[in-house]
Structures are given as C-alpha cells and as structure tokens.
Amino acid sequence: MRSLITGGAGFIGSYLAEELLRQGHDVSMIDDLSTGSIENIEHLKRQYGILKDGVLARQRGLSVVASGNARFQYTIDTVMNVPLLAELVDQCDVVYHLAAAVGVKLIVESPVRTIETNVRGTEVVLELANKKKKKVFLASTSEVYGKASKIPFSEDDDLVIGPTVKGRWAYACSKALDEFLAIAYWKEKRLPVVVVRLFNTVGPRQTGQYGMVLPNFVRQALAGEPITVYGDGTQSRSFTYVEDVVDALIKLAMCDRAVGQVFNVGNGTEVTIGDLARKVKSIAKSNSEIQYVPYSQVYGAGFEDMPRRVPDIRKIRDYIEWEPQVQLEEIIRRVIHHYSDRV
Ligand code: UDP
C-alpha cells in the first residue's frame, strides 16, 4: 500500500507518515512548507531514504515528482499544482488530505489564503482521486461546530457559524464546505471518503507560531516569560495526543464501514485554558506569571472564541473501538521534554 499525505510535513502529517512507514506501508507526501517544515520529516528521510532531487529542484524554483523505489518520497509543492498532484494520486492507493490553512492567528491574518487553500485544495484532491477512485481521507476540524452550545458535540449536531464579517468563521465554513463536497462525492460518484473532525491535536513538534495554545504556554513557561491566557481563561478545550489521532486515522482508513461517514476524533477530557496554564506552569516548575490578555489585543476588535469544545466519541468507539490513550498531564510532560532543550 502506498499512502499519499497532503500536508505531510506538517505536525500531524509527519506523525502519520512515521506510523504508516513503521507499519510497513510506503508513503509519498506533498507539502508546500507554508506551515509545515522539513525539520518535521528529517528523521524519516534519514531512516527510510528519499530522493534528494526534490530539494535540489526546489532550490532551482522547480517542482518534481519524486520517482524510484524509495519507501518514503516527498515533493515540495502545493496541492493546487494539478498535473503534479494527478501523478502522485495515480501512484498511491489512499490519500490522506491534511493540507490546509490552520491556526487561528493565520486564519485571522490571512483569510483569503485560508479560504482558497482549504476550498480549492480539497476540490482538486477530490476531483483527481475520483478519476481513479482512490479512497480519500479528509481531515476536518472541531472548529466546524462553531458556536454550538450543546455539549458534547456529536457528528449529527447542527453547526452554528458566526457572521461572515468575522474572519475566524471563514475557517469553520471552509472546512464545512470541504466536508459537504467529500460526502457529495461519495453519494453522487461513489468515491470512498472518510471525514474526521480533529479536536485540538497536540504533541511534540507542534509549533506555537500560528497561535496554538499548548506549545505557546510551554515555550513561555520554559523561558520564564508570562504565560498569556487570552480572555478570562474560562473557555475550555479537549486536547488530543497526536499519536492517538494518527492511530484513529489509520484504523478508520482500514474500516470499510467508515466510508461516507464523519467522525469526531478527540479526547473527551475537558480543561479550561486557565487551568491549562496552571498545569503547564506547575509541571514545568516555572516561575512565569500567568497573564490575562484581552482577545481584542491579540486578534483585533470583535473576535469571537468558542466557550467550550468537547467531543462525543461514541461513534468512533463503536466503529473501531478507539480510545485516546495519552492524557493531558502526560501530554504536557512530553511537550515540555521536547522543548526543554530548544528554549
Ligand atoms: N489561547 C491562549 N493563549 C495563547 C494561545 C491561545 O489563551 O497563547 C487560547 C485561545 O484563545 C483559545 C484556546 O487557547 O481559547 C485554544 O487556542 P488554539 O489557538 O490553540 O486553538 P482553537 O481551539 O482556538 O482552534
């Protein structure tokens, strides 16, 4: 089996590639390095061998399809390069479509890029996969639930999106459209698709550059800088360890019954952001102060956050008997360990 991972040099994509390779699959990836990084896949290049041409070509401003027998291949380009993606899709058995604009900071600052990357990118992937009827795995997000207030969130719940003048909701809406399109390809054209809604995936290697809370808190705690809690810290999230997420994705991809379905992938344990800051500070044995920063100062006037976000995971439990294994304190310890020699 050869899996194609779009966004493979991103945080989740790189863990997915590693696990697929470990299980004996071949992996190709495409990433434009907009938010991903070669550093995330250095260890895979060393362990499984790659064609160096991709790097050379990039230096010359070209893009190439890696060829040859390497179990692991990567190409630096965007999924919007249709001829290139068509070739990569042809060579694989299943597509994990993870390439997307992510991170609240990026989304608020670059709404056009967010919408175009998420909508057009998914259109291209589905259209090409459909020509060869290659199974597509679409990574969506818990953000699609928007401001829904029924907790926990179940896959069949209504999605409650905010007004179009507020940039944040463009992300939720663009990913919801991706989901509609994927399900439509299944219903109308019998393209096998599986949609997953990921709930705040975290772990070592995640960057805080695009606003993600845990790597930011850990970096601040280790550097002795103030830990910046946005708003009053009563908003909550459910953090899921990246290896648990990858385990769910691979098992769902193997599950025939999952085709045409949407699944929450998340850890049901809820924590407020204020408590998260206190936990990080305590586990890192940090002297940092916890500083409360108004949302408007970070994301501009009128920014709307979700007060709570908790997954109902009964469906995925029923389909593949999946249960998250790594809990929050241990996740924090692992992220601290990862960053402790980098600060
Ligand atoms: N957050 C925070 N401090 C930070 C970064 C984020 O308090 O330095 C908050 C953010 O406002 C949100 C939560 O942490 O309420 C999770 O933010 P993140 O961007 O990681 O993910 P989201 O769930 O909002 O997509």
Domains in the chain, CATH or no CATH each: 2-202+240-267+310-325 (3.40.50.720)
Q: How confident is the model at residue 211 (pLDDT cuts 50, 70, 90)?
A: confident
For ligand 1, atom 3, name the residue with the nearest CA: 229
Nearest-CA residue for atom 23 of ligand 1? 200
Pocket test for ligand 1, best of 104, 271, 289 (most atoms within 8 A of CB): 104
Please report the atom of ligand 1 found closest to the CA of residue 217.
Answer: 8
> One of 48, 171, 299, 339 is an active-site residue; which one?
171
Integer Cα distance of 98 and 115 in angstroms: 15
pLDDT, tens digit, for every residue of 12-32?
Answer: 999 999 999 999 999 999 999
Residue 289, Cβ density class (10 Å: 0-12 exposed, 13-18 middle, ≥19 buried) = exposed
The answer on pLDDT for 134 being more than 80 is yes
CA of 167 to the centre of ligand 1 (A): 16
Closest CA to ligand 1's atom 13: 213
- Ligand 1: residues within 6 Å at CB? 104, 143, 200, 211-213, 216, 228-230, 235, 237, 273, 305
> Can you tell me the mean pLDDT for 256-277?
97
The residue that leads in pLDDT, 315 or 55, is 315
* pLDDT at site 300: 86
Atom of ligand 1 nearest to the CA of 293: 7
Q: Which two tokens stand for residue 306?
A: 């979700």
Model confidence band, residue 57 (pLDDT cutoffs 50, 70, 90): very low
What is the structure's pLDDT at 46? 76
Q: Quick one: average pLDDT of 300-304?
A: 86
Quote the ligand 1 centre to 64 CA distance (angstroms): 37
DSSP 209-268: TT--HHHHHHHHHHHTPPEEEETTS--EE--EEHHHHHHHHHHHHT-GGGTTEEEEE---
Q: Which atom of ligand 1 is nearest to the CA of 305?
A: 15
From the DSSP assignment, how many helices (H) and strands (E) are in the chain?
13, 13
Output 168 or 281, whichever has higher pLDDT.
281
Of 112, 138, 111, 102, nearest to 123 by C-alpha is 138
- Spacing, Cα 327 to ligand 1 middle (Å): 19
pLDDT by residue (tens digit) across 241-255? 999 999 999 999 999
pLDDT digits (tens, 9 = 90+) for 218-232: 999 999 999 999 999
Burial of 101 (0-12, 13-18, 19+ CB in 10 A): buried
- Residue 313 pLDDT greater than 80, yes or no: yes
So what's the pLDDT on residue 85? 94
- Ligand 1 centroid from CA 239, angstroms: 11
Question: What pLDDT score does 303 carry?
Answer: 87
The confidence score (pLDDT) of residue 321 equals: 97
Average pLDDT over residues 335-343: 86
Protein residue with least CA distance to atom 14, ligand 1: 213
Would you say residue 55 has pLDDT above 70?
no
pLDDT at 50 over 50: yes
Label residue 53 by pLDDT band (50, 70, 90).
very low
Q: Which atom of ligand 1 is nearest to the CA of 210?
A: 19
Query: Is the pLDDT reported for residue 124 higher than 60?
Result: yes
What is the atom index within ligand 1 of the atom nearest the CA of 309? 23
Tell me: pLDDT of 240 over 60.
yes
Q: Are strands 201-202 and 240-241 parallel, antiparallel or unpaired?
A: parallel
241 belongs to the catalytic site = no
Residue to mutate (ligand 1; options 143, 273, 303, 328; most atoms within 8 A of CB): 273
pLDDT for residue 341 = 74
What is the arithmetic mean of pLDDT over 39-61?
65
| 58-111 residue pLDDT tens | 544 444 444 445 688 888 899 999 999 999 999 999 999 999 988 778 888 888
Structure tokens given for 251: 């098992």
Q: Report how far ligand 1's centroid is from the alpha carbon of 31 (Å).
A: 25
Q: How many C-alpha atoms does 280 have within 13 Å on its Cβ side?
A: 31
Q: How far is the CA of 255 from the centre of ligand 1 (A)?
A: 33
Pick the residue whose CA is nearest to atom 6 on ligand 1.
213
- Mean pLDDT, the chain, integer: 91
Question: Per mean pLDDT, which range of 42-46, 156-160, 255-259 is the poorest?
Answer: 42-46
Q: What residue's CA is closest to ligand 1, atom 4?
A: 213
CA distance 208 to 74: 24
As a whole-number percent, the residues of the chain with pLDDT over 90 amount to 78
Give the DSSP letter of residue 1: -
Cα–Cα dist 291/301, whole Å? 19
